[in-house]
């Protein structure tokens, strides 16, 4: 099969398309013909082995490979068609269109992907393309997780700092579907897609420091690694809640001793990416409550350009690879 491979950590040009053996079909596994895969910041960080959140770099290198990944095929979020013959008790059947998460197995930058049946996989929403479906799980599952933690009630005011990325764009939509008022902080070039997602207010961080403004928020989702926690907490109402999607080690520690550090709840736990949550996202998409916002779809052969596009931070929506 054709696959995008990474034989050495480094720049996007280290990625190449080559022929590799098809995955071995194992008992209890689905075999998926991949049609599209989202190119994520996590893929780019894995490729270069440079992480915005630096504290887990060493354990990851030991776990995944010192000089190159033990699995040379990246890609964790995909959509495609089941090609394996499924047993009678399976949730799926051959020919079903599905989307989901490969987890730490990776391997979705390839024509075929084998995953255990109990992984977070769901049938595609009936009103979107393969590329749109592949672009849901990462941003959607994490956004749903943090919105559930913050639990903004109807009429409450949510601030999303760094809301123009995959997670932020879904968080806007999910919060709006629950009746919250949403303000987003990001760069001016992302204003259009942020407003397309449904944000009520936009703050250009280059022009305005939201921590110095008088507005107070009932909840805050912070996607910016360099944020100062104390300043962020200062803009919350007395009962305001805070969640960090990219927590520094110091923020993790403070969250463990939350009651000693702050009167505000601080959430840093990563999303479980469960099948039930993916099914909920599918229902929201089919109901028209949320949608997948895609910037550009690249062919496999232009994977390096796709990675450059993600790393440039100039994209307005998801970046997807179309698998031949």
Degrees (nearest 5) of the Cα angle 290, 187, 311? 80
∠ CA 51-305-142, rounded to 5°: 45
Res 249: pLDDT: 76
Over range 238-250, report the average pLDDT: 89
Nearest-angstrom CA–CA distance, 30 and 113:
8
pLDDT in tens, 130-149: 999 999 999 999 999 999 99
Determine the pLDDT at residue 61: 67
String of b and e for 188-208 (b: at least 16 CB within 10 Å)? Answer: eebbebbeebbbeebbeeeee
DSSP notation for 203-272: EETTT--GGGSS--EEEEEE--TT--HHHHHTTEEEEEEEEESS--HHHHHHHHTHHHH-SS-EE-PPP-
Consecutive H or E run containing 195: helix 191-197
Give the global pTM. Answer: 0.93
- Give the pLDDT band (50/70/90) at residue 173: very high
In tens, the pLDDT along 261-297 reads 788 999 998 899 999 999 999 999 999 999 999 999 9
> Tens of pLDDT along 38-80?
999 999 999 998 876 655 566 676 667 777 788 999 999 999 9
Burial class for 308, CB neighbours closer than 10 Å (0-12, 13-18, 19+): middle
* CB contact at 8 A, 241 and 149: yes
Nearest C-alpha neighbor of 43 from the set 66, 71, 17: 71
8 Å CB contact between 216 and 238: no
Dihedral angle at the C-alpha atoms of 39, 172, 268, 140, nearest 10 degrees?
A: -40
Please give the pLDDT value at position 55. 58
Q: What angle do CA 45, 305, 138 make, to 5 degrees?
A: 45
**In order of start, what are the domains of the chain with their CATH numbers?**
2-136+292-322 (3.90.180.10), 143-267 (3.40.50.720)
C-alpha to C-alpha distance for 124 and 273, rounded to whole angstroms: 16
Burial (CB count <10 Å: 0-12, 13-18, 19+), residue 66? exposed
Backbone angles phi and psi of 104, in degrees to 5? -75, 0
What value does the mean pLDDT take over residues 217-235? 95
């Amino acid at each position: 099969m054709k696959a995008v491979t990474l034989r050495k950590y480094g720049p996007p040009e280290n990625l190449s398309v080559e022929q590799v053996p098809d995955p071995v079909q194992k008992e209890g596994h689905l075999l998926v013909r991949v049609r599209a895969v989202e190119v994520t910041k996590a893929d780019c960080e894995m490729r270069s082995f440079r992480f915005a959140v630096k504290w887990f770099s060493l354990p990851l290198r030991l776990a995944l490979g010192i000089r190159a990944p033990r699995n040379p095929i990246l890609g964790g979020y995909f959509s495609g068609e089941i090609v394996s013959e499924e047993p009678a008790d399976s949730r799926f059947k051959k020919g079903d269109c599905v989307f989901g998460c490969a987890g730490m197995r990776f391997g979705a930058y390839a024509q075929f992907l084998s995953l255990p049946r109990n992984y977070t996989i769901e049938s595609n929403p009936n009103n979107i393309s393969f590329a749109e479906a592949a672009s849901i799980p990462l941003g959607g599952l994490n956004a749903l997780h943090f919105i559930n933690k913050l639990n903004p009630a109807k009429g409450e005011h949510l601030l999303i700092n760094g809301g123009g990325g995959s997670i932020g764009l879904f968080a806007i939509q999910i919060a709006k579907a629950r009746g919250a008022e949403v303000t987003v902080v990001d760069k001016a070039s992302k204003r259009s897609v942020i407003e397309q997602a449904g944000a009520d207010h936009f703050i250009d961080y280059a022009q305005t420091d939201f921590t110095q403004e008088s507005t107070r928020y009932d909840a805050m989702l912070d996607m910016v690694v360099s944020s100062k926690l104390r300043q962020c907490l200062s803009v919350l109402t007395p009962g305001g809640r805070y969640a960090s999607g990219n927590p520094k080690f110091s923020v993790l520690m403070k969250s463990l001793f939350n009651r000693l550090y702050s009167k505000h709840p601080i959430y840093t736990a990563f999303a479980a990416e469960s099948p039930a949550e993916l099914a909920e996202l599918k229902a929201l998409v089919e109901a028209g409550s949320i949608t997948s916002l895609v910037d550009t779809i690249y062919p496999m052969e232009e994977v390096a350009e796709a990675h450059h596009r993600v790393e440039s931070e100039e994209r307005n929506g998801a970046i997807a690879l179309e698998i031949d």
